[in-house]
Amino acid sequence: MKRYLGNLDKPEERVNRALEAYQSLTKLREVKPGEGLPYKYEPPHLPGWKDMMIGGAIPGLKPNQRNPYFTGGTAKHYRPVINFDKCIKCSLCWEYCPDSVFDVTPDGYFNPALAYCKGCGICAEVCPVPDTIIMVDEMEFEDGYGKFLDEYRAWKENREAYRKWFESLLPKAQVISVRKR
């Protein structure tokens, strides 16, 4: 592979990219029976023609209403991690989030309900404070489907541990607020 890539233009960059891709794949592992999260298939409710709105119209989600059919949080490749120490409570993430993922905490912070997050990264893009919202590869985390980490609570419980954890994620972040990638 190295020999092949070495004959093309920008050989170093190509080799590095290939290595990066390979390493991200080696993180994948086989999930053994019984190991995953409990999941029971429930066929979707299909209404009859008399019960449907005409013309295929569908009642939409009200502002600030979350999609009740999407609670697994499985769509995202990256998740937002919030540095609450730096947050200025401007509410832009809450305002812009297309899936109304952010819960307002009693002291005015914005805590992402990761089960509803699609990983779009708009929150990190609009956050005006450097290094405050970062988008990190989902592969970095062990929690998932249905039971996600509560970032705000983790921060409240142990600020020092949260700060260290956040700093360990910072070099791996794909999108970092204010900073260019």
Partner 1 sequence: MSVSALETKRLEAVLKGDEEVEVVGTGTDAVAYALMLADVDVTSAYPIRPYGGVMQTVARLIADGYMKAEYIVAAHEHDQFEIVKHASAVGARTFVGSSGVGWLLAIEAIVAISTDRYPVVALIGNRALDDPGAYGVEHNDALMVRDVGWLLVWVDTAQEALDTTLIAYRVAEDPRVMLPVGISMDGAFLTHSEHVFKIPPKKKVQQFLPPYDLGNRKLHPSNVISVAPQVNEDWVTEIRKQMDEAMKNARKVIEEAYRDFAKIFGRDYGNPFVEPYMVEDADVVMVGMGTVSKPIKEAVRRLRAKGERVGFLRIRWFRPFPTEDIIRYLSGVKVVAVVDRDYSFGSPFDGGAVFTEIRSALYETDHRPLMMNFIGGLGGREITYNDAINMFNMALEAARKSKVEQRVIWYGVRE
Residues that bind partner 1 (CB under 8 A): 44, 46-49, 52-63
Alpha helices by DSSP H, listed for 76-130, are 92-96, 122-126
Q: Are strands 133-137 and 175-176 parallel, antiparallel or unpaired?
A: antiparallel
DSSP secondary structure letter of residue 49: T
| Residue with Cβ nearer partner 1 (21 or 58) | 58
| Residue with Cβ nearer partner 1 (38 or 60) | 60
Sign of the dihedral through C-alpha 42, 46, 52, 57: positive
- CB atoms inside a 10 Å sphere around CB 151: 22
| Residue with Cβ nearer partner 1 (25 or 57) | 57
Tokens of 95: 């305002």
CA atoms within 13 A on the CB side of 144: 16
Q: Rounded to the nearest whole angstrom, what is the least distance from the CB of residue 109 to partner 1 in the complex?
A: 28
| Residue with Cβ nearer partner 1 (32 or 62) | 62
